[in-house]
Structure 1
């Protein structure tokens, strides 16, 4: 069986989320445990910092 890398549509998913604890590549989850379409603000800011470094 072939292993396939996950397709990441949102660039900020390349870093882990400190807000909800989602690992790199996984979606963010809201307070109700629902998967978010976007990412938490902290995760997006951390990604921008990593990208510019």
Structure 2
């Protein structure tokens, strides 16, 4: 059976979180160790600051 890549519903999850240490693809965790519904603002900023990699030929 072929292995399927996980689906990422929030594009901010494509970068690691510098605040809670979550790796790319994993959700952020809050103070009580509970999974957050969203992401930390620092992570969202890291995603927005990523350079766009569009190649023109």
After superposition, what is the alpha-carbon deviation per residue over 1:11-50, rounded to whole angstroms, capped at 9, x for unaligned? 0000000000000000000010000110000000000000
Provide the aligned length of Structure 1 versus Structure 2.
53
Please, which runs of 5 or more residues in structure 1 have no aligned partner? none
CA distance in structure 1 between the partners assigned to 2:18 and 2:47 by the alignment: 11
Higher helix share: 1
What is the aligned partner in structure 1 of residue 19 from structure 2? 19
Q: Calculate the TM-score normalised by the size of structure 2.
A: 0.84
Q: Which has the larger radius of gyration?
A: 2
**Cα RMSD for the two superposed structures:** 1.5
Please, which runs of 5 or more residues in structure 2 have no aligned partner? none
Q: Calculate the TM-score normalised by the size of structure 1.
A: 0.89
